[in-house]
Amino acid sequence: MKKNKQTGTILALIGAFVIYWAQTHSPKAKPGQIVGNELSGSYTMSETSYYISLIAGIVLAVYGIYKIVKG
């Protein structure tokens, strides 16, 4: 695999993980999920950090896919 494709794959995976992380720690979560997060030792993000994480994840994923396609 070429170096660009490897880098693109890693960036896309990191971006997907950041998006997943933002969604599972959303400030707009249902009350049941918030209680579950508290009981499991997790937390709920503030709205600002949620949107920053979501945008960063999208940018990383799109850039990674671009590098994969470009080859």
Contact by Cβ (8 Å): 67, 8 = yes
| pLDDT for position 19 | 95
**How much is the pTM?**
0.81
Q: What percent of the chain has a predicted confidence (pLDDT) above 70?
A: 92
pLDDT higher than 80, residue 59: yes
Alpha helices in the chain (DSSP H): 3-24, 31-39, 47-70
pLDDT in tens, 20-44: 999 888 887 777 766 776 777 677 7
CA–CA–CA angle 48, 67, 64 (5° rounding): 30
Take residue 14 and report the two structure tokens written for it.
């990191």
Inter-helix orientation angle 3-24/47-70, to 10° = 160
